[in-house]
Structure 1
Amino acid sequence: MQYVLGVDGGNTKTVALVARRDGTIVGAGRGGPGDIYNPYSGEGLPNVAQAVQHALDTAGVARGELAGGVFSMAGADWPEDFAFIEQIVRSHGLACPIQVFNDAIGALRAGSPDGTGLVVA
């Protein structure tokens, strides 16, 4: 069975979830802020890595079992931000297809399946 990974790396915390393809959540992890431009940005991506590892561990899922991942990240605004985050994610052993978005996109999609609406942050 293959699984999917979802990560919300925000300004205050990072949450990672591992789910089966049917949407059943099987693992969760939490870490500190994930914003790459936070004043403590040196901690941002390690916090993301910690949350992802904890989610995988609680799910009992190996990286190789992931069919894909989505990273909804604060501070990810430009193509070079997306490429930078993807490079870091790849360096932590995720070989599955991934997508990186700004965290407002994740909030919008979570609140409105058709993607229409407004996010006030």
Structure 2
Amino acid sequence: MSIDSEDLRNCPARITLDAAQLAFFDGLPAEAPSVQTELGCELELGHEGSHAALGQQVEATMWWIQWTLSASEINPYTWCPAKSTPHVEDRNDRDCTLFDGHPGQHVDGHLARRSDAA
């Protein structure tokens, strides 16, 4: 089994959501697929600060779980504005898929490739 070099660009940290966190996501007013019980950090390898994974999106608000070795919390964010087009309903492959103010480089939706920070 080999390790793909693309995988090494993402932080390998993972979190297993507890019952209270899953209940919070299940209680959001959105028709979305069930939240996975285990999530991986979506930030770049070597990022500063807490780890982060998207839990669920409700309209323009994205609910991200953020964690460290000792604590976790769920926080509301909006999309990162990098490369986004104003007044467009749908996100496209060139938009950053992370939250506004995230640490590190931007991640676009096209195969989660990294793009230069704006």
TM-score w.r.t. length of structure 1: 0.28
The answer to which structure, 1 or 2, has the higher relative contact order (CA under 8 A, 6+ apart) is 1
Structure 2 length-normalised TM? 0.28
Q: Give the helix-richer structure, 1 or 2.
A: 1
